[in-house]
Structure 1
Amino acid sequence: MNIDIRKNIYEEIKNLLASARENIVSNVNSTMTKTYFLIGKRIVEEEQNGNERAEYGEELIKNLSLRLSKEFGKGFSKTNLKQMKSFYLAYGKGQTVSDQFKLSWSHYLILMRIENIKERNFYEIESIENNWSLRELRRQIDSALYERLVLSIDKEKIKLLSLKGQILEKPEDVVKDPYVLEFLGLEEKSDYSENELETAIINNLEKFIMELGKGFLFQGRQVRFTFDEEHYFVDLVFYNRLLKCFVLIDLKIGKLKHQDLGQMQMYVNYYDRFVKLPDENKTIGIIICKEKNDTLVRMTLPEDNQQIFASRYMTVLPSKEDLKKIIDETDKK
């Protein structure tokens, strides 16, 4: 007798199996990473109890590699064993944010190269919470996410980055300066219009949302609203489910002008008065521009401004030196 399986029960069982497989992979990764940590610990302890000379350490790792590879196969080359040793040295003093090593070994190979412990802990937290792939972790490090957040938040929040990761509590917490849009494929000095910039973002929407940060949901492009028989268009509209508010984004390929800030103020006012629900928070407006004058922004916006923000964007990955210059310039203003 053939039974017509209802789609919902099939989907439920399929999801259960997929979740089980993910848990198995996750547990295997966690167990292997913890094992590599313990191997690294034993190598360090043996070196310290035996002879701390470099020659002794090299000979120890060489002999271990030969015997372990013979019995357990691949994965125990001299290079791998040295990485396990480095892993323990990096995480062996209670400097990890998790006692269970929730990421893959490949993630930790990247993380342990970060010398700044606070920065390393931040990326570990964000990788766990956001389920970052290796590619995304590399991109966030290469685009200096930690440094950009340090630039954008107050000193008290900086302390929390290495303990809890990025926390969204108020409007300015969602803003980065600069935004790094290297994934758009636009050259630094090439000629492109605001429409082409917007189109490139839409074509890479998933990556753009990752760059925006936590909690963003896309609402629409060139969203129109009308009053007094005049039509207005917001370049990009998002909703942040953590802050429970709309986030309006305007794109400017040139230098920011005070008229741009006034226009965004009008957009935000409209959304606050006619779009947002009573239980939602006030709308945030972000103008992402190629160039801005911080003094102009301060003089144009109210002193108690908590809704309108202006940030630069970069179409190439910045170097650490470039970001340091931006931070130093901002601190002086």
Structure 2
Amino acid sequence: MEPTATNQLAQRISELLTEARGRIVQSVNHTMVLTYYEIGRMIVHEEQNGNERADYGKQLIKTLSIKLTADFGKGFSQRNLEQMRQFYLVYSKAQTLSAEFESDDKPVKKFQLSWSHYLKLMRIEDVDERNFYEIESYKNNWSLRELERQYNTALYTRLSLSRSGSQVRRLAKEGQLLQKPQDAIKDPYILEFIGLPEQSTYSESELEQKLIEKLEHFMLELGTGFTFVARQQRISFDEKHFRIDLVFYNRILRCFVLIDLKIGELKHQDIGQMQMYVNFYDRRMRLPEENKTIGIILCQDKSEAVVEFTLPENNQQIFASKYTTVLPSKESLVKLIRD
């Protein structure tokens, strides 16, 4: 067999094994989570038989921990058993991805994430917010670390504050859906992953370079469906040359997304420049079957009045959003979002 053919066969076998291992891990995770859910159910039902006395419940978990640890080793501490009990209490009502389905006439929970994910999720008190993060974790294959980051940067709050009541309820049931340009916009964008101090003096090119170095993180912050196209893309007409900082394409919205980075406060000239970029893409780059180009200006500060009166009333293409390069405190983040 030729070396090239051998390498191709090895590659196909490697892909098959990787896929099989992934399915095995997913199956093990699902079985483990279901088992913990059932253990939690059994503990709660036993407590109810004991009239839900607090001292009875504590003694029950303590005794179970001793017996189960002796039989099965680590993993059944009092703390772990309490978490299984809490897991059942939180998820015993039908939830989005964890809704019940029938199997041999017995209702079974369908859990799609790892136990570590659920340990984080069940600490989120608001049911709608918890549902949202569960859906987004599954849809986007978020690791536990990414789930924690998205929660810590208040993704649900950032999205929900710009939506009506019915749209917020839809977020809780279906996660983030991209159906129109506004659905892809956040304000503010949290860019703490690039490692630039908030008060540090840096140029727009340095900010751009940091975003490129952390492109995977930046695309997660941008949201679902984004693919990277170019940086500093040159466009020319009438012997004049301009460069667009970052160009993306969104597969769901089926349109180009242009991003311009601005240090300091947004000026009306910046909006006009982005309008020119968007017009160029719409007239020279966009295919007939694609939707109109979106332009996002990321700035440190902006006047809503400047944005409002520079853009046309029916604007659906140009958006200005603040960004911060550090993760604010919870109080500061809420104020930043509401302002």
| TM-score computed with the length of structure 2 as normaliser | 0.94
2:219 is the counterpart of 1:209: yes
**8 Å contact from structure 2 (residues 231, 246) kept in 1:** yes
- State how far apart, in whole Å, the 2-side matches of 1:325 and 1:38 are: 41
Partner of 1:71: 71
**8 Å contact from structure 1 (residues 152, 175) kept in 2:** no
Q: 243, 253, 258: which is aligned to 2:263?
A: 253
Q: For 1:209-288, what aligned pairs fall within 5 Å after superposition?
A: 209-288=219-298
1:169 partner SS: coil
**8 Å contact from structure 2 (residues 232, 245) kept in 1:** yes
Distance 1:318 1:260, change over 3 A: same
**8 Å contact from structure 1 (residues 151, 177) kept in 2:** no
Extract unaligned runs of 5+ from structure 1. Answer: none
Q: 144, 150, 167: which is aligned to 1:134?
A: 144
- State how far apart, in whole Å, the 2-side matches of 1:23 and 1:308 are: 43
- State how far apart, in whole Å, the 1-side matches of 2:239 and 2:116 are: 58
- State how far apart, in whole Å, the 2-side matches of 1:311 and 1:220 are: 21
- CA offset digits 1:278-333 (Å, max 9, x no partner): 1111000000000011121111100000000000001111333233324443xxxx
- State how far apart, in whole Å, the 2-side matches of 1:244 and 1:318 are: 33
Q: 203, 226, 243: which is aligned to 1:193?
A: 203
2:85 is the counterpart of 1:85: yes
Whichever residue aligns with residue 173 of structure 1, its letter is D
2:13 is the counterpart of 1:13: yes
1:74 partner SS: coil
- State how far apart, in whole Å, the 2-side matches of 1:288 and 1:151 are: 19
Whichever residue aligns with residue 122 of structure 1, its letter is F
2:74 partner SS: coil
User: Deviation at 1:154?
Assistant: 3.6
User: Deviation at 1:20?
Assistant: 0.9
- CA offset digits 1:136-163 (Å, max 9, x no partner): 1111111111111112334332111111
User: Deviation at 1:243?
Assistant: 0.7
Partner of 2:46: 46
Extract unaligned runs of 5+ from structure 2. Answer: 99-108
- State how far apart, in whole Å, the 2-side matches of 1:193 and 1:64 are: 60
**8 Å contact from structure 2 (residues 258, 293) kept in 1:** yes
- State how far apart, in whole Å, the 1-side matches of 2:164 and 2:309 are: 21
Q: 284, 308, 324: which is aligned to 1:314?
A: 324
Partner of 1:104: 114
| TM-score computed with the length of structure 1 as normaliser | 0.95
Whichever residue aligns with residue 207 of structure 1, its letter is H
- State how far apart, in whole Å, the 2-side matches of 1:269 and 1:168 are: 22
**8 Å contact from structure 1 (residues 97, 163) kept in 2:** no
Whichever residue aligns with residue 292 of structure 1, its letter is K
- State how far apart, in whole Å, the 2-side matches of 1:123 and 1:49 are: 34
**8 Å contact from structure 2 (residues 187, 337) kept in 1:** no
Distance 1:269 1:62, change over 3 A: same
Q: For 1:174-185, what aligned pairs fall within 5 Å after superposition?
A: 174-185=184-195
Whichever residue aligns with residue 25 of structure 2, its letter is V
Partner of 2:101: none
- State how far apart, in whole Å, the 2-side matches of 1:152 and 1:83 are: 35
**8 Å contact from structure 2 (residues 296, 319) kept in 1:** yes
- CA offset digits 1:13-37 (Å, max 9, x no partner): 2212111110011011001101101
Partner of 2:310: 300
**8 Å contact from structure 1 (residues 188, 314) kept in 2:** yes
2:161 partner SS: helix
- State how far apart, in whole Å, the 2-side matches of 1:85 and 1:114 are: 16
User: Deviation at 1:3?
Assistant: 6.6
Partner of 2:33: 33
Cα RMSD, aligned residues only: 1.3
